Amino acid sequence: MSIFDSEHFDGILADVPCSGLGVLRRKPEIKHFITPEDIDQLVSLQAQILESCSKVLKVNGWLVYSTCTLNKKENEKAN
């Protein structure tokens, strides 16, 4: 049970954990440590976060989904 179970919000900012591939210029070492499996796990976690957000978002509310990556798997594809 969450403290938000009985509360609904007008808006939610979901700054979800991501692969970090969008900051390769500043952190080039990331590409040596991240695996496709890591990205798959992140995508699953992101989906869980979005699903949780949808349960506490008011009808006609707004949701901002934010990551630091341009990876299509993390930002554009639906599961």
C-alpha closest to that of 16 among 54, 58, 41, 47: 47
- Catalytic choice (52, 61, 68, 75): 68
C-alpha closest to that of 28 among 20, 37, 17, 39: 20
> Is 68 in the active site?
yes
C-alpha closest to that of 75 among 33, 24, 36, 21: 21
Residues known to be catalytic: 68
